[in-house]
Amino acid sequence: MTKKPWISLGGIGVFAVLLLAVAPLVLSDHWLNNLGKYCCWAIAAVGIGLAWGRGGMLVMGQGVFFALGAYSMAMHLTLESAGDRVPGFMVLYDPLAPLPAFWEPFRGAGFTLLAIVLLPVVVAGILGYALFKRRVKGAYFAILTQALAVALATLISSTIRETGGDTGLSDFKYFFGFVLNDPANKIMVFLIAAGLLVVCLLVVWQLYRSRFGELLVATRDAEERVRFLGYDPANVKLVAFVVSALMASIGGAMFVPIVGIITPAEIGAAASILMIAGVAFGGRASLFGPALGAMAVGWGQSSLGSTWPDGWTYILGLLFIVVILFLPNGLSSLPARFAAARRRPEQKAAPSAATPELEEVRS
């Protein structure tokens, strides 16, 4: 029991070596870029694992926070590429269009980085405070967050002059002074994304082994009881929700220079659900499950999704059903299940310490 965290830490170490040292050596530029994209989704997924797997909050609208990071970064890169001129898509409709006021501060690199960190914290902080203090939970919480993702995607779609609408923002030439087309710089961008993923894993590793992690699981399973121990569960959930929003924002921010385009489709309801799917697939309450699940779904999307676009959606759907039916705790619960089955073949497996309550989702 006291040893397990250190094994996990070793796992993160191995993962870091594979991602940061081995992958750039063995993968082609194309696949390295793809892997970078999966890392961005995985960063958001790690946050979902924290909020949903450990905290019981089904965050169906992480696209909102993904968008905050992504659009902050995209606005900065667009301005950097445009230089002193107004970005191309704005002059398309009106040659004399001024730069919208909210774009102006994103010229600064420092402001942009600050916005990527602070915007999701402030938005999730206010939203979470309002919802958790009013004890909004379960399906209501899930639907509300989902609706926000839809609303934000619609807002961006409809403000084509200010945000690029459905076409999104693209054609970034520079990344904080580095030429994005340069292969060496592409590797650097990948390494930043992969490094951030490792950092996020380390953060949740510490959170899970800390007292806060125990309190979060307690809050997930018996919120009222936690209240009767003198804690305000709203605050516990708020912290997990804000951290998960921050991670989604970081994932979104790195998504932009790696993929080269951000559109409302990447942050809307479908995209938000795809992030959840990866987490459920990998195992929402485990340390590695969400990240690996999100990377697997990302890989499936770009390999199977491009060769067999019609079939991929069905495969994903089928996979989702099979996992929910037979492995409610995701693929990462397989080793524990095997171990339990071998130790006591005649008995039913005891609930593992990381089994989340399904009630929250069903209620």
Partner 1 sequence: MTDASLVVTDLRVEFSGFVAVGGVSFDAHPGEVRFLIGPNGAGKTTCIDAITGLTKGTGSARLGEKELLGRQVHKIVRLGVGRTFQTASVFDELTVLQNLDIAAGRHRPAISLLRARRGVDPAIERALEETGLAGELTTPAGILSHGQKQWLEIAMLLVQDAKVLLLDEPVAGMSQDERTATGELLQRIAAKRIVLVVEHDMDFMRRYATRVTVLHQGRVLSQGTVAEVQADPRVQEVYLGTADAMTEG
What phi, psi does 179 have (nearest 5°)?
Answer: -75, 120
Q: Which residue lies nearer to partner 1 by CB, 334 or 350?
A: 350
Q: Which is nearer to partner 1, 229 or 315 (CB)?
A: 229
**Helix, strand, or coil here: 176?**
coil
Element spanning 178, H or E = strand 178-179
C-beta separation of 304 from 315 below 8 A: yes
Q: Tokens standing for 357?
A: 């309550």
Indicate the residue among 28 and 347 with the shorter CB distance to partner 1: 347
| Position 328 contacts partner 1 (CB under 8 A) | no
Scanning 43-51, 111-119, 215-223, 241-249 for contacts with partner 1 by CB under 8 A, the matching segment is 215-223
Select from 85, 134, 135, 225 the one that contacts partner 1 (CB under 8 A): 225
**What minimum distance in Å lies between the beta carbon of 202 and partner 1?**
13
Q: Report CA 74 to chain centroid distance, whole Å.
A: 17
Q: For the chain, first and last CA: distance in Å?
A: 32
Distance CA 74, CA 256 (A): 6
Region from 32-40, 144-152, 290-298, 353-361 binding partner 1, contact rule CB under 8 A: 353-361
207 binding partner 1? (CB under 8 A): yes
Q: Which two tokens stand for residue 317?
A: 């759907």
Site for partner 1 in 146-205 (CB under 8 A): none
Residue 215, interface with partner 1 (CB under 8 A)?
yes
Q: Does 7 bind partner 1 (CB under 8 A)?
A: no
Nearer to partner 1, 48 or 243 (CB): 243
| Position among 206, 303, 313, 363 found at the interface with partner 1 (CB under 8 A) | 206
Residue 222 as a binder of partner 1 (CB under 8 A): the answer is yes
To 10 degrees, what angle do helices 233-259 and 29-48 make? 170
Residue type, 56: G
Helix (H) or strand (E) holding 298: helix 289-307
Task: Give the footprint of partner 1 on residues 231-290 (CB under 8 A).
Answer: 231-232
Out of 84, 224, 310, 346, point to the residue binding partner 1 (CB under 8 A). Answer: 224
**Residue 48 touches partner 1, criterion: CB under 8 A:** no
**Is residue 5 within the footprint of partner 1 (CB under 8 A)?**
yes
- Residue 133 neighbours by CB distance under 10 Å: 13
298-327: contacts with partner 1 (CB under 8 A)? none
Name the packing angle between helices 233-259 and 211-221 (round to 10°): 110
Q: Which stretch binds partner 1 (CB under 8 A): 26-34, 59-67, 226-234, 305-313?
A: 226-234
Close Cβ partners of 242 (under 8 Å, ≥ 6 residues apart): 120, 121, 124, 125, 128
Answer for which of 126, 315, 350, 358 binds partner 1 (CB under 8 A) is 350
User: Rg of the Cα trace of the chain?
Assistant: 21
* Interface with partner 1 (CB under 8 A): 1, 5, 206-207, 209-212, 214-215, 217-218, 221-222, 224-232, 350-355
